[in-house]
Chain A
């Protein structure tokens, strides 16, 4: 990865970082936050290289070939510390190790870099231990925290780091690429909305998963409006078994949300923006029978349900309650 390659999708962030490097005004700690697929991790390693490389160019580009750059790639740089979740979370012992490293000078120079991947998975006590360091950073060290869930990062941590938000990728560019690769438009449209970048969208399409998921969504919304008494059964017999992983259920919910957004689009005459293009008749029918506030209400309900899933509520419970709300009005 080079700055130029990263700038294709994250021009602002790259510009900012390059300027700070050249003016020697890097913050002591950054939080890179962006959706899945925005390459916050690659950016973190690029910044680490630029910080440690001793043959950095005038354009802030690390040389990618010196002993520092190469060992950053291979994971053997002694003054680069990478913290990743062990199991589901980053434990306080891992942060304790980090704090000990913070209190020492580097092995090869006075410069040290710490990358905390998925910083949102830090346990509460881990986050609080890290906070102590962020309050009193020592020496020439650089800390980079990376997350896809900024809201899950303690506010006290956010206020002590420089937050760089990575731009989500525009759906149009994703759709185009997918169409070029021969995927159907209906699939491409949905995938582009729920995936964060081309690669993820493509992998969703290629596995046929998206086609099946789409039919589950269409089946569910159909039953909610036509045969409400069957909807609960459908959730238990078809929906939950298909979206059995928490992460896939989240995607299913995203797709459900797209449906209701389509309803709004139809109501306000933006039919060209609709995602479920092949279901126009159904959309129009449902759009006629519901008011805008009702639909918004339902969107909020789905959004809440997503949040509760994140907070580890039981998927079954969340879906049952969501269904009740979607059947109202």
Chain B
């Protein structure tokens, strides 16, 4: 293998891919970064086995030539050293060549580094993109889907499947849901599929992978290709591919948990409601007893209280925009409500209660593509 590449382009790619490489892995080859030179350009790959990132530097685009390939081939280089070296190269081009036994030379101007490479045959095989199982989604929508669901995943090891977000595609509608068994966040989106009738369910993506993905996507409305395979999901954007392993097992049914009727309904201004809950919880210690009590007090008013033993009680009143149905007194985890209200993209929300001991639903009033479900807190 031998190629010459534009340094800035190369550094950008290397840094991108390095994000997915961890030195703490049980599979030795994964401490390395894979470089592959082909007629089309240079591909860089990194993986911590949970997520993998592939970055492609094309030979040329309309304006520039980036890569000159003299000999096709591939090599795996120790990421720890390689990324450090690449950052410090002096000249505008870098030449990388592999000799016998994976000995590799990195050259830029007068700087020459000799590295011992690893056999690229040892590197994991990532799933191939099958164009017919692809659908497209704009980057900003994808980031929203992630932001509005990942927070509701569980971080407990006891039920690993709940650490992921469940994706389902049916009739060009993508449904993403996440729950830690105390609250549920659901977000739907209209999707264009390449092949009509593409559908899947029980695709459960680790929440951690989605958060990583969100970090590497820039804010734009460019389309991302999404490919679902048996064991991995793949996101294809600009010059890079992002892979994540899927979670094993069946995601529990969540559709039937959502009540369809309401005994008490309230419409509230999202921001005002959010800050009322936040203020009521000022006294409570973090992650300890986040119980908030909510009570209808007539005239469309709600009273929100939170009691912290030995510290005191905080009371807040909120005026609803609209209220109907029975009087109500309910307790819930205030932190969960805050989490949801922070990601709601609507001025107003509607909450449907079906009794003090039943789950309740929070929806934006502007649209019906997202929904949050909460379990009440029982006091005994």
B13 to chain A, nearest CB (A): 22
Give A113 to B246 CA distance when docked, in angstroms: 17
Which of A71, A76, A81, A103 is close to B161, meaning CB atoms less than 8 Å apart? A103
Give A107 to B127 CA distance when docked, in angstroms: 9
Size band of the A side of the interface?
20 to 34
Whether the Cβ atoms of B27 and A78 lie closer than 8 Å is yes
Contacts A78-B30, A97-B26, A105-B230 given; indicate if A139 touches B248 (C-beta within 8 A): yes
Restricting to B146-197, which residues have a CB under 8 Å from any CB of A?
157, 160-161, 163
B249 within 8 A of A: yes
Which of A75, A104, A106, A108 is close to B206, meaning CB atoms less than 8 Å apart? A104
B41 within 8 A of A: no
Size band of the B side of the interface?
20 to 34
Least CB separation from B52: chain A residue: A107
A102 within 8 A of B: yes
A25 within 8 A of B: no
Choose, from B99-107, B118-126, B338-346, the stretch at the interface: B118-126
Contacts A107-B49, A108-B124 given; indicate if A100 touches B160 (C-beta within 8 A): yes
Whether the Cβ atoms of B122 and A76 lie closer than 8 Å is yes
Give A67 to B120 CA distance when docked, in angstroms: 11
Whether the Cβ atoms of B248 and A102 lie closer than 8 Å is yes
- Across the interface, which residues of A come within 8 angstroms of B161, CB to CB? 103
A70 within 8 A of B: yes
- Across the interface, which residues of A come within 8 angstroms of B27, CB to CB? 75-78
Restricting to B221-243, which residues have a CB under 8 Å from any CB of A?
230-232
- Across the interface, which residues of B come within 8 angstroms of A81, CB to CB? 26
A110 within 8 A of B: yes
A74 to chain B, nearest CB (A): 6
Residue of B27, B29, B248 with most chain A CB atoms under a 10 A cut-off: B248
A138 within 8 A of B: yes
User: Which B residues lie at the A interface, using CB under 8 A?
Assistant: 26-30, 47, 49-50, 52, 121-127, 157, 160-161, 163, 206, 230-232, 245-249
Q: Which 7 A-B pairs have the closest CB atoms?
A: A103-B160, A105-B231, A138-B248, A76-B29, A76-B122, A78-B124, A139-B248
User: Which A residues lie at the B interface, using CB under 8 A?
Assistant: 67, 70-71, 74-78, 81-82, 96-97, 99-100, 102-110, 138-139, 141
